[in-house]
Amino acid sequence: MNPLADELNTVLDGTIAGRLLSNLGRRFYFPKGIIAQSAEAKKSATLANGTIGMAYSKGVPLILSAIADNMAALSPEESVAYAPTAGVEKARTVWRDLMIQKNPSLDPEKISLPVVVPGLTSGLSCMADLFLSKGGNIIASDPCWDNYSLIFEVRRGTQIIGVPFFDAGPGLDLNAIEAAVNKAAETGQVRIIFNFPNNPSGYAPTISEENALVNIIRKAAENGSDVLVVCDDAYFGLFYEENISKESLFVRFANLHEKVLAVKIDGPIKEDYVWGLRMGFLTFGSKGLSTVHYDAMVKKLMGAIRSSVSCANTPAQYLMLKAMEDKRTPGEKAKYFEMMKRRYRLVKSFIAENPDHPVLKPMPFNSGYFMSFRCVGVDAETLRQELLAKHGIGAIALGEYCLRVAFSSIDEEKITEVYRIIYDTAKQLGEADF
């Protein structure tokens, strides 16, 4: 059990709350991860807050005009009525159509109709309810988003097999990924989650790397293993380099092999700059499934939703419908994308101009909201606290060696200064430790 959970249990032991906790309740804890560190940075990050996965300009979150205009214009049916368990039908079909538009290689007849979930975290949790069991395992990148541990390990009792997707090379460590898949395949079943663009690294596979990943999964299936591939597409579309495939990996896996089941978890949260609306989608795809099978899977998913959150947020679904249909939206999204891309370029340029740092080793990054450093000889949490306390800069420490910086939330004119301070502070800490 996690030491943080043990600490809380000790506090509650002997009370009625402690006596009533379920086994799952005793395993729960609040990690000193992204959310806790972001709250700390919100108070003290006076220069720049690069902790949370949101996009800001001059201290204000980016927002589409259609969202701002329609907040007070929803009808009672659109604002306070219950939504169907699987989501508003039009929201589901419009999102499917947009998914096909963004992924033209995807056959809409070969996938399920997307189901609305109250945020991508809920989609991951429902997926875990359906497919992850106590004593099982799932392959994920190391480092990975810290909430995977709560969702998979604490809630479901499933072990995360952490694989160093990003080793010393310029991209994915395909050998490490293949070795992990082959090891899992010895049991007859493989479960793996691909989060691209990756949180925390900010990396998405190149076209050649994508082909290699597909071949790894295909071989496992052809050799007799059942394979679950989860595509966490939270940051889909934020691709800044030409050699990255502009389609989701889900496209490749959804019709790959009868023994491969792909699950796509996506939504407007990051793609459309509506983080607080808490709305996502979950879609199934497999060469071995028919419409009847998909209907059964959707009903099972609806059971998971009904038994946990009942249904997703109604106003969020109608607001997003209005945004999807508003002719201003494409232009505004293109403007925001270019803003994110300029920030990405500034970070890339700074790192290229300041190579061979003694402490900070940048992981490969080419997309998304973030980039991360491997810290050599300096504890990432120590560096995070130093940056926050002495320089008013918020960043995220993930484990002992990973420092994540969200350039998405740092204004362009501050990026060079912020990264200079990060580099100088890390170097000073390294010299002090030496």
Alpha-helical regions (H) of 244-290: 249-253, 268-271
Which CATH number do you get for residue 336?
3.90.1150.10
424 — pLDDT class (breaks 50, 70, 90): very high
Share of the chain above pLDDT 70, in %: 96
Peptide bond connecting 114 to the previous residue in cis, omega within 30 degrees of 0? no
Residue 361's domain comprises 32-62+330-433
User: Given 325, 354, 369, which residue is the final one in a domain?
Assistant: 325
State yes or no: pLDDT of 434 exceeds 60. Answer: no
Same domain for 316 and 221, yes or no, is yes
Query: pLDDT by residue (tens digit) across 375-384?
Result: 999 999 999 9
Q: Tell me, yes or no, whether 313 and 353 share the same domain.
A: no
Domain-located, residue 52: yes
Question: Do residues 156 and 214 share a domain?
Answer: yes
pLDDT at 53 over 80: no
pLDDT in tens, 317-376: 999 999 999 999 999 999 999 999 999 999 999 999 999 999 999 999 999 999 999 999
Domain match, 144 and 167 both: yes
In a domain, 22, yes or no: no
With respect to residue 19, please indicate whether it lies within any of the assigned structural domains. Answer: no
Q: Which residue has the higher pLDDT, 169 or 86?
A: 86
Tell me, yes or no, whether 58 and 79 share the same domain: no
Q: What whole-number distance in Å separates Cα of residue 209 and Cα of residue 203? A: 12
Total domains, the chain? 2
Asked if residue 10 belongs to a domain, the reply is no
d(CA 10, CA 25): 13
Mean pLDDT, range 262-277, rounded to an integer: 92
Alpha-carbon gap, residue 242 to 63, rounded angstroms: 27
**Residues 117 and 282: beta-carbon distance below 8 Å:** yes
In single-letter form, the type of residue at position 377 comes to G
CB-based contact 190:139 (threshold 8 Å): yes
Contacts of 140 (CB under 8 A, 6+ apart): 148, 152, 160, 161, 162, 163, 192, 193, 195
Exposure string of 54-87, with b = 16+ CB inside 10 Å and e = fewer, is: bbbeeeeebbbebbeebeeeeeeebeeeebbbbb
Same domain, yes or no, for 131 and 49? no
Torsion sign (Cα): 266, 272, 274, 279: negative
The pLDDT tens digits for 112-171 are 999 999 999 999 999 999 989 989 999 999 999 999 999 999 999 999 999 999 977 789
Give the span between the Cα atoms of 49 and 275, in whole angstroms.
17
Q: With 70 as the cut, is the pLDDT of residue 289 above it?
A: yes
CATH code, domain carrying 274: 3.40.640.10
Task: From 303, 325, 347, give the residue that closes a domain.
Answer: 325
Classify residue 5: in a domain, yes or no: no
How many angstroms separate the Cα of 304 from the Cα of each of 123, 315, 317, 400, 414? Answer: 10, 21, 19, 35, 44
Which of 325, 350, 377 is where one domain is finished?
A: 325
User: Cα separation of 414 and 418, whole Å?
Assistant: 6
Do both 105 and 223 map to the same domain?
yes
CA dihedral 391, 394, 398, 399 (to 10 degrees): 30
What is the four-CA torsion angle of 381, 365, 149, 378, rounded to 10 degrees? Answer: -20
Q: Is position 197 within any domain?
A: yes
In angstroms, the CA 367 to CA 343 distance is 11
Tell whether 42 is covered by a domain.
yes
Residue 67 within a domain = no
Supply the pLDDT for residue 46. Answer: 85
pLDDT in tens, 194-250: 999 999 999 999 999 999 999 999 999 999 999 999 999 999 999 999 999 899 999
Check pLDDT > 70 for residue 18: no
Same domain, 256 and 337: no
Shared-domain flag, residues 308 and 357: no
Per-residue confidence (pLDDT) for residue 39, from 0 to 100: 72
Question: What pLDDT does 22 receive?
Answer: 66
Whether residue 101 is found in the same domain as residue 217: yes
Residues 18, 89: Cα–Cα separation, whole Å: 42
Same domain, 284 and 369: no
What is the pLDDT confidence band of residue 21, given thresholds at 50, 70 and 90? low
Regarding whether 98 and 148 lie in a shared domain, the answer is: yes
User: Is the model's pLDDT at 110 over the cut of 70?
Assistant: yes
Q: Residue 251 region, left (φ>0) first, then alpha (ψ -120 to 50), else beta?
A: alpha
- SS3 state at 208: helix
| CA atoms of 148 and 139, how far apart (whole Å) | 11
